[in-house]
Amino acid sequence: MELKQSFGAALKQARAVQEKTQEDFAGVSGRTYLSALERGIYSPTIDKIDALASVLELHPLTLVALCYMKAEPQASADELLDRVGSELKALGVTAL
């Protein structure tokens, strides 16, 4: 699955689980744009991911992690988080 499509699927899943409508995102995004994101037509900017996650009351990394889990369904959440933790340590981030 392409990342645009997996991000759209992740966004749609998070929105559905929280029982949010596309109209609930009116303060950060138009319904047409949100629909296009969910259908994998557009790729959001990092600022847009932050705004969408805010409406969902999620950390933006949660939305991005869900996106990558949809793109790579064989990977578990633990494996993904372990990899990110290891890569952050390798980049010199010590407060984990």
Q: Where are the domains of the chain?
A: 3-90
pLDDT at residue 96 in the model: 60
Residue 82 CB neighbours (<10 A): 11
pLDDT, tens only, 31-66: 999 999 999 999 999 999 999 999 999 999 999 999
Residue whose tokens read 């990977």: 75
The pTM (predicted TM-score) of the whole model is 0.89
The domain 3-90 belongs to what CATH superfamily? lambda repressor-like DNA-binding domains (1.10.260.40)
87 by Cβ neighbours in 10 Å (0-12 / 13-18 / 19+) ranks as exposed
